[in-house]
Amino acid sequence: FAEYFSSDRPFRELGSSFESEERADVLVFNTVHSLRQADEMSRVLLVEFKRPGRKSYSNDENPVEQVEKYVRLLQSGGTLDVRGRPVKLDGSTVFNCLIIADIVGKLDDWTFSWERVAGTGSRRYIPPNGFTGSIELIDWDDLLRDANARNKAFFERAGISGRRFFSAEW
């Protein structure tokens, strides 16, 4: 559950202090509502989607660097909430970052040394410095297989079993 959700919105629309046109595919705050800071430590979920089947990335399209740039931008401070108080997204904020992509080509090379997530093709990286949290690279096939398995009982109860509802065709 979250109190703030944003999808493909420029950071400048999150607060007047952000001048950036950069945009995360999905951004979720669990204790920030309309940029109104709660007193307890906040968590941020940042999701970056890459087109299924994509195999090539130029060096300046590295999704890992892209996610880290978004975290730095959010941590940069100076953002005011709806009450005019500073929003504190700093070293105590936990950033859970997800990259959903096929792990092939340069993306495979860039994340080769990351921890493998047991039973999946996914990979996880916990930065030693810079921010608290992790970056997880989730393979499209794993995501779709999990989504179908997780929702199987619902589909069966609705009388629509035996079909795959989630696919990576865009």
The 10s digit of each residue's pLDDT in 41-88 is 477 888 888 888 888 888 888 888 888 888 887 777 666 655 666 666
pLDDT, tens only, 76-122: 766 665 566 666 676 678 888 999 999 999 999 999 999 998 888 89
The helix/strand/coil state of 74 is helix
In whole angstroms, what is the distance from residue 103 CA to residue 120 CA?
12
| Identity of residue 141 | D
Phi, psi (5° rounding) for residue 106?
Answer: -60, -35
Answer whether 40's CB lies under 8 Å from 31's CB: yes
Name the pTM for this structure: 0.69
In whole angstroms, what is the distance from residue 44 CA to residue 27 CA?
7
Looking at per-residue pLDDT, the higher value among 123 and 146 belongs to 123
Structure token pair of residue 14:
């999150």
